[in-house]
Structure 1
Amino acid sequence: MSANLRLRAVPPPALRNSATWLERLFENEADASRHREEVLDKRYPDQERIYAGAPAQGAGDRPQSQVVLGGRPLFRPDRHKPPFLVLTAAQARRVAEFLTTADFDALWAFARDELLPRYGGPAAERETWSAFAAAHQELRAFYAQTAESGDAVVKVPAA
């Protein structure tokens, strides 16, 4: 499993449906300064669990984690590497709306019993809650800025 998840905002006209182009986008650190980026630490797979408990916003909606941390996979030529995950600008806007209105304490209550044993149990709840709440706030800010700019989002698990 990868150590973190990198999310990068990309203007839709610049986005290419090419794994090779996306690899260059994430490898080129000069591009990092031109694009808004967020990096979630090794807890990001568990962060997904928090959003999985969110109520559906409409009939047939999938768990919110699919849009917050997921996306349409774009597979790399090297199938041993994880795929890129792509959200359109419209999807990124919906994620921003969800994160703006989400009640983190309610989401935490849903995931708490599953997550606490992995992070030191009830004695470590304050620290664990704080770490996940901080990641939630970072995601909220990233997606809000991304939606305001009308950008798409590309994600990749990275070591």
Structure 2
Amino acid sequence: MSTYLRLRAVPPPALRNSTTWLERLFDDDSETVGHRVGRHREGALGKRYLDQERIYAGAPAHPAEGRPQGQVVLGGRRVFRTDRHKPPFLVLTAAQARRVARFLAMADFDALWDFARDELLPRYGGVAAEPEAWCAFAAAHQELRAFYAQTAECGDAVVKWLPA
């Protein structure tokens, strides 16, 4: 089983704090979700999403400058499911999504990579494989950046789900 993180943008008025509603948000196909919640955008990070989080964990948190804590890029408020053995959903408000979008727009990926590279490279083939690892993480960073930029532009919240 491949572990990955799915992200969906949701207009704030459509967002529900119901685990049943959140489960349906990810169980239904994109077209059905689009009809139910209005506009629909989805992103996904592959099985290295936990390592992607490591890149942002080193990001400086300057609340006065509107930057989020690193974990907010991939984290959020937990909404626990009735089956506590399943991972919770993670929710970012529209305001939090805007802060993440601003952070990602201003973030220097090379500086973030430099902070995390020594921890990440051994898992991806070492220094010899750095160009490939850098490219993979940079591509995921760009996908997150684009997802959050469009989400912020639309004023949407974000719901995240880690399939069990």
TM-score bracket relative to the smaller structure: over 0.9
Q: CA deviation at 1:67?
A: 1.0
Where does residue 46 of structure 2 map in the other structure? 41
TM-score by length of 1: 0.94
Preserved contact between residue 5 and residue 39 of structure 1 (Cα < 8 Å): yes
Superposition map of 1:138-153 within 5 A: 138-153=143-158
Q: CA deviation at 1:158?
A: 1.8
TM-score by length of 2: 0.91
Taking only the aligned residue pairs, the percentage that are identical comes to 79
Q: Deviations over 1:127-153 (max 9, x none)?
A: 000000000000000000000000000
Superposition map of 1:81-100 within 5 A: 81-100=86-105
SS in 1 for 2:162: strand
Q: CA deviation at 1:63?
A: 7.0
Preserved contact between residue 52 and residue 63 of structure 1 (Cα < 8 Å): no
Displaced runs of 4 or more, over 6 A: none
Change in Cα spacing, 1:121 to 1:98, as seen in structure 2 (3 Å) is same
Number of residue pairs aligned between Structure 1 and Structure 2: 158
Preserved contact between residue 51 and residue 63 of structure 1 (Cα < 8 Å): no
Where does residue 106 of structure 1 map in the other structure? 111
Q: CA deviation at 1:62?
A: 9.4
Where does residue 3 of structure 2 map in the other structure? 3
For 1:7 and 1:117, the matched residues in 2 are separated by 28
Amino acid in structure 2 at the alignment position of 1:27: D
For 1:68 and 1:151, the matched residues in 2 are separated by 15
Q: CA deviation at 1:11?
A: 0.3
Q: Select between 118-127 and 49-58 the one with higher mean Cα deviation.
A: 49-58
Where does residue 14 of structure 1 map in the other structure? 14
Q: Select between 114-123 and 24-33 the one with higher mean Cα deviation.
A: 24-33
Amino acid in structure 1 at the alignment position of 2:18: S
Where does residue 31 of structure 1 map in the other structure? 32
For 1:155 and 1:69, the matched residues in 2 are separated by 8
Where does residue 128 of structure 1 map in the other structure? 133
Change in Cα spacing, 1:2 to 1:19, as seen in structure 2 (3 Å) is farther
| Structure 1 unaligned residues grouped into runs of 5+ | none
Q: CA deviation at 1:2?
A: 6.1
Q: Deviations over 1:101-149 (max 9, x none)?
A: 0000000000000000000000100000000000000000000000000
For 1:31 and 1:87, the matched residues in 2 are separated by 22
For 1:63 and 1:114, the matched residues in 2 are separated by 22
| Structure 2 unaligned residues grouped into runs of 5+ | none
